[in-house]
Amino acid sequence: MQPDAGAMAQAAVDVLPALILAGGAILIIFYALFVRRTLQVWAAALATATLAAAGYAVGVFLGEPPGVTFFGTFAVDGVNLWATAIILVVTVLTVALSVEWFDTDARQGEYYAVVLFSALGAVLLAGALDLMELVIAMMLASVTAYTMAGYHRRSRSSSEAAIKYFLLGGLANGVMVYGVALLFGLAGSTTFSELETGLAGADPLALVVGFGFVAMGVAFKLGALPAHQWMPDVAQGAPAPAAAFLLVAGKVGALVVLARLVMVLPEDLLGWRPVVALLAAATMTLGNLAALWQDDVRRLLGWSSVSQTGYGLLAVVAVGRSDLAIPSLLFFLAAYALGNMAAFGVVVELRGLTDRGAYRGLAGPHPWLIGGLAVSFLSFVGIPPLGGFAAKLLLMGAVIDAGYTWLAVLTIINSAISLFYYARVLGPAYFGAAARPRPVLGRWAGAAVLVAVVGVVAIGVVAQPLAQAWGALSLVGR
Amino acid sequence: MLTVAVFVPLAAAVALLALPKRREAWARPTAIAVSLVPLAVMVIAWIRFQLGSGFQLVESVPWIPALGITYKVGIDGLSLPLAAMSALLFTISMIYPADLRGKARQYFAAFLFLEAISLGVFLSLDLILFFVFWDLSLVGMYFLIGIWGHGDAQRSALKFFLYTLVGSLALLLGILGIYLSTPDRTFDMVEIIRTNPVPATGLASTLIFLALGLGFAVKTPLAPFHTWLPPAHVDAPAPASTILAGVLLKMGTYGFIRLSLQMMPETFQRFAFPLGVLAVISILYGALVAMAQTSLKRLIAYTSVNHMGYVILGVAAAGAMIGPESARSLALTGATIEMVAHGLITGALFLISGSILARGETYEIGAFGGLAARSPKLAGFTMLAAFASLGLPGLAGFVAEFQIFAGTLGVYPWLAGVGLLGIVITAALFLRMIQQVFLGELPPRWEGWRDLGRAEVVALVPILAFVVIIGVVPAWLVDVIDTLSRNLVGS
C-alpha cells in the first residue's frame, strides 16, 4: 500500500497529542544545549507548556468519534485518549516534583526532554494496534526510563537501580521482539486486526510461545510477574520524582495495550483468561507479601506498586466479558496513578525520607503531608469514598461478572494484608510522640502533592462524570 | 433534614481541625454544641415518625447514576431508634472527661467525624453509601484508639482495623453480589428490599449470604469472630469504648436485619438455625469468659459479646419462618430493643470504667473494695447499670431480653432454654463484681478516693434515665420498633 500525501496529513493530525509531545521534547533538547545553566530550570516550564498543549489536543479529540489511524496501527479511541490524559497529568505532576529536586543538577534541562519522551512512549503504548508499533513504543518508554532511573550519576543506588532495570528490561524487550517475530510468522501480519483473522487456525504451541514472549515484554512495563523485580529497585534507588513517574506512566500504557492484545487472541485456541487471572493473583499476592516487612518506605511503595499491578490485571481478565471492564480499567489507572504520585510526592517533599523509623511522630509537625500520605495509602487499601475504592469496587464487580469470583475474594484478602504494611508506616507517624519537623523540599513539590491528593479524593467522590464518560467506552474495533 | 444530622458534624469536624491552636479550649464546648444538632434532628424525626409505614423522611440525590449509586437517607422503625440512641451516646461521650493528650481539637474532631459516620450507617438507604460510612467508621475508630488509647494501643488499634476490614471487605463482596443480581443494576436499598432480587436458592445466594454474614459477624461480634474486641475495648479511651460498644457493634446487628434478613429473607431462613446456634455459643462463651476476667473493662467487653448474642438469637428466630408469626415478631422487637438497651447500658458501664481508671489507674477488680463508702454516686450508678445489664425487671435490659426469649421459645425452644443460662451467669458475674469493687473493706490506698465529678454525673444521668424509662414505660419505643417487625414478619 502506497500512502498518499492526504492520508499522511490526516494521520499526522490524528496523533497530534503524540506529535506535540515529541516536538516539545526536541525543543527542550535544543534549549538545554544552548542556554546557560541558570536558565536551565525553565525547561520545566517548557515541558509544562508542551503537556498543556497536548492535553488541550486530547480534550478536543475526546469529542470526536473513535477511529483507527496511521494505516491501522494506532487507535484514537476514548480509552487511548483517557489513558493519554492520565499520563499527561502524571507527567505534569512529575515535572512539578522534579523542579526543586533537580535544582542543583547541571543537566536538569535535558531531564525534562527525557521525561517527555518517556511519556510519549507510554502514550504510544496505550494506542498501539500493531506489533511493530508496540515494539517501538516499548523501546522508547524503556530506554528513556533507564536514563531517568540513573539520572543521579554519582549515586550508587541510582546507578544500581538503573543497571538492574536495564538488564531486566533488555531481556524482556529482547524476548518480546522474538515473540513478535513468531506471531508475524504465524499470522503474516503485525496489525492487530489482521492478527485476529490470521491467528485463527494457527498452531497452538507456537501461538502460546509467541504470545507468551510478547506478554513478557508487556509484563515488564506493567511490573507484573515474572518481570516485576525492577519496581522495588527503581522505587528505592532512582531519583524519587523519576521513580514516581516510572512506576506509573509505563503501567498506564502497558495495561491498555495488554487489554487490546488479548482481545486479538482466538479464545478457543488459547485460554488466555485463566492465565491472566493466575498472573494477576500471583502478582498481587507476591507484591503484598514482599511489602509486609519492608522498613524502607520507598521500597515498600515499589512492592505495593507490584500488588497494584495485580489488581489492575483484573480489568484485563474481564475485558470482553463484562461491561464493567473498561470503566474499571480507567478508574484503576486514574486512582492508582494519582495515589502513587501523592505517596511519592510526600516522600519527595520530605527530601526523599525513606526510613520507616524516621516517619515516627511526623504527623505532629507535618499534619498535611502525613495526611496526604494517609489518604493515598487508604485509597490503595480501598477505603471509600477515595478513588482506590471506586477502582476496586468496579474491578471486583467486573471479575465477578466475568465469572472469576475467586479473584475478587483474593483481592479482598490482599487488600486486608496491604493494610498491615501501610499501617506500619501510618501508625507510628500518628501514634508516636511528636517528632521534630523535617526539612521539606519546596512549594512546587508541595503543590503537586496537594493536586494529587485532591485528585484521589475527587475520583471517588465526584465519580459521576468519569463513570458516565467511561461507562460507554469500548476498545476500538470491538 | 436527616442530611443535616450527618453533614453538620462532618463539617464541624473539619472546622475543628482548622481551629487555631490557641483556641484549643473551644474544642469541647463547640463539639458538644454541634452534637446537639443531630440529637435535635432525631427528636424531630421521632415526633414526625408515622407508625405503621415503611421508610420515611427520605432524602435522595443522584450521586453516581451511571453505576446506580444514589445519595439516599431515610428512617424506619429499625434505624430511627438506633440513630437516636447513637446521637445521644455521642453527646454524652463528648461531655465525659477524657485524657486528651494535648490534642483536644483532633480528639473532638475525631468524635464528630465518627458521629457523622455512624449516623450515616444507620440512615443510608443506598448500599454504597452505607458501605462508605461503614468503612470510614473503622478509620475513625482506628485513630481514636491509636492516638488516645493506653496500654498497647497501637497494636490493639491495628488488630481492630485489620479484623474489621476483613469483615467489611467480605461485606463489600456481598454487596457486589446483590448489585449484580439486580435486574437494572442498582444499589438502592429500598428497591432491593422490595424486590429481593437475589434468587432464593443456589450457590450465588449462599455465597452472598455468607459474605454478608462474615462482615456482620465480625463487627457484631459473634464468637468465634470476636477476638479483636477485648483488646480494642481495653486499650481504647473510655468514651471511645462507649462508642465502640454502644454504636459500632450495633452496625453489625443492624446489618444482619437490614441486609441479610430484609434483602434475602428466603436465604436467611436456610441459615437461621446455624445462626441461632452461633448466637447461643456467643451468649454462653461471652458470659463464661467474662466471669473469668479480673479486669473490669475486659469483663464489660465480654458481656458485650454475650449481649450481642441475645440480639442475634432474636434476629435468627425472627427470620426462621417457622413457629407463630407473633413469636417471631416479638423476637425481632426484642432484638431491636436490646440493641438500644445494650448501647445505653454498656455505654454507661464503659464510661464508669473510665472514671475508675482515672482514679485508680488500674482496671483490676481485685485491687478495689469498699468503694461505696467513699463514692456513693459512683456505686449507685454502677449498680443501676449492672442490674440493667443482667436483666433486672423494671430496667431496659429486661424488656429486651424478655421479648427475645419469649419470642425465641416459640421458634427454637431448645436454643432459648440453653441461652437463658447466659442470663444466670451474667447475673452472677455482675453481682460478684459489685461486691468486690464496692462492698467489703476499703483498702488503705483508696482513702483519698473521689466520688464522681459534675461532668460525669451530667453525662451518666440522661443515659441511665433512659434505661429506667425504657424499663418502666417502653411503649413509645416498642411502638416504633413494632412498625418494623410487623412489616418484616407480617403479623
Give the pLDDT confidence of A27-61 residue by residue, as tens digits: 999 999 888 888 888 999 999 999 999 999 999 88
Task: Report the greatest alpha carbon distance in chain B.
Answer: 71
Q: Which residues of A touch B139 (CB under 8 A)?
A: 378, 383
**Closest chain B residue to the Cα of A463, Cα to Cα:** B64
Q: Which residues of A161-190 are buried (b: 16+ CB within 10 A; e: fewer)?
A: bbebbbebbeebbebbbebbebbbebbebb
How many angstroms from the chain centroid is the CA of residue B177? 26
Per-residue model confidence (pLDDT) at position A26: 95
Sign of CA dihedral A372, A286, B215, B59: positive
Q: How many CA atoms lie within 13 A of B260 on its CB side?
A: 31
Number of A–B residue contacts, CB under 8 Å: 81
Query: Is B176's CB within 8 Å of A415's CB?
Result: no
Dihedral in degrees, nearest 10, Cα atoms A284, A396, A462, B164: -80
* Chain segment B80-119, per-residue pLDDT in tens: 999 999 999 999 999 998 888 888 899 999 999 999 999 9
Query: Is B179's CB within 8 Å of A471's CB?
Result: no
Query: What does the alpha-carbon distance between residue B14 and residue B113 come to, in Å, rounded to a whole number?
Result: 8
- Smallest Cβ–Cβ distance between B161 and the set A394, A397, A423 belongs to A423
**Closest chain B residue to the Cα of A378, Cα to Cα:** B139
* B62 at A interface, C-beta within 8 A: yes
Query: Is A383's CB within 8 Å of B172's CB?
Result: no
| Nearest CA-CA partner of A207 in A261, A139, A277, A135 | A261
Query: Is B172's CB within 8 Å of A412's CB?
Result: yes
The DSSP bridge pattern shows strands B69-75 and B56-64 to be antiparallel
Q: Which residues of B touch A415 (CB under 8 A)?
A: 165, 169
Per-residue model confidence (pLDDT) at position B95: 92
Per-residue model confidence (pLDDT) at position A215: 92
Nearest CA-CA distance, residue A273 and chain B, Å: 21
Query: Is B131's CB within 8 Å of A384's CB?
Result: yes
Q: Which residues of B touch A457 (CB under 8 A)?
A: none
Q: Which residues of B touch A381 (CB under 8 A)?
A: 165
Least confident segment among A83-87, A199-203, B36-40:
A199-203
What value does the mean pLDDT take over residues A263-271?
Answer: 78
Phi-psi region of B357 (alpha: psi -120 to 50; beta: other; left: phi over 0): alpha
Per-residue model confidence (pLDDT) at position B490: 59
Query: Is B157's CB within 8 Å of A427's CB?
Result: yes
> Which letter does DSSP use for residue A67 in this model?
E
Query: What does the alpha-carbon distance between residue B337 and residue B466 come to, in Å, rounded to a whole number?
Result: 12
Q: Which residues of A touch B147 (CB under 8 A)?
A: 430-431
Nearest CA-CA distance, residue B162 and chain A, Å: 6
Indicate whether A476 pLDDT > 80: no
Nearest CA-CA distance, residue B158 and chain A, Å: 7
Q: Which helix (H) or strand (E) holds A350?
A: none
Query: What does the alpha-carbon distance between residue A360 and residue B149 come to, in Å, rounded to a whole number?
Result: 17
Nearest CA-CA distance, residue B16 and chain A, Å: 14
Q: Which residues of A touch B128 (CB under 8 A)?
A: 384, 393
Per-residue model confidence (pLDDT) at position B491: 46
Query: Is A463's CB within 8 Å of B67's CB?
Result: yes
User: Long-range CB contacts (< 8 A, 24+ apart) of A320-324?
Assistant: A320/A262, A320/A263, A320/A478, A321/A273, A321/A401, A321/A402, A321/A403, A322/A397, A322/A398, A322/A399, A322/A401, A322/A402, A323/A401, A323/A471, A324/A394, A324/A397, A324/A398, A324/A401
Query: Is A431's CB within 8 Å of B172's CB?
Result: no
What value does the mean pLDDT take over residues A75-81?
Answer: 89
Specify the 3-state DSSP secondary structure of A168: helix
| Nearest CA-CA partner of A341 in A466, A228, A456, A458 | A456
Check if the beta carbon of residue B253 is closer than 8 Å to that of residue B311.
yes
Q: What is the DSSP string of A396-441?
A: HHHHHHTT-HHHHHHHHHHHHHHHHHHHHHHHHHHHSPPPPPPP--
Q: Which residues of B touch A401 (CB under 8 A)?
A: 180
Query: Is A467's CB within 8 Å of B63's CB?
Result: no
Query: Is A378's CB within 8 Å of B128's CB?
Result: no
- pTM, whole model, 2 decimals? 0.92
* Chain segment B196-233, per-residue pLDDT in tens: 888 888 888 999 999 999 999 999 999 889 999 999 99
ipTM for the complex shown: 0.89
Query: Is B143's CB within 8 Å of A423's CB?
Result: no
C-alpha cell at A88: 499527561
Average pLDDT along chain A? 90
**Closest chain B residue to the Cα of A374, Cα to Cα:** B139
What value does the mean pLDDT take over residues A106-120?
Answer: 92
- Smallest Cβ–Cβ distance between B154 and the set A396, A409, A427 belongs to A427
* B210 at A interface, C-beta within 8 A: no
Per-residue pLDDT of chain B (491 residues; tens, 9 = 90+): 899 999 999 999 999 988 888 888 888 999 999 999 999 999 999 999 988 778 899 999 999 888 889 999 999 999 999 999 999 999 999 999 888 888 889 999 999 999 999 999 999 999 999 999 999 999 999 999 999 998 888 899 999 999 999 999 999 999 999 998 998 889 999 999 988 888 888 888 999 999 999 999 999 999 889 999 999 999 999 999 999 999 999 999 999 999 999 999 999 999 999 999 999 999 999 999 999 999 999 999 999 999 999 999 999 999 888 888 889 999 999 999 999 999 999 999 999 999 999 998 889 998 998 899 889 999 999 999 999 999 999 999 999 999 999 999 999 999 999 999 999 999 999 999 999 999 988 888 888 888 998 999 999 999 999 999 999 999 999 999 988 887 777 54
In chain A, which among 386-425 make CB contacts under 8 A with chain B?
389, 393-394, 396-397, 400-401, 405, 408-409, 412-413, 415-416, 419-420, 423
Q: Which residues of A touch B143 (CB under 8 A)?
A: 430
- Smallest Cβ–Cβ distance between B162 and the set A420, A463, A468 belongs to A420
C-alpha cell at A274: 485463566
Collect all residues with Cβ–Cβ distance below 8 Å to A184 and sequence separation of at least 6. Answer: A131, A190
* B139 at A interface, C-beta within 8 A: yes
- Smallest Cβ–Cβ distance between B165 and the set A396, A400, A416 belongs to A416
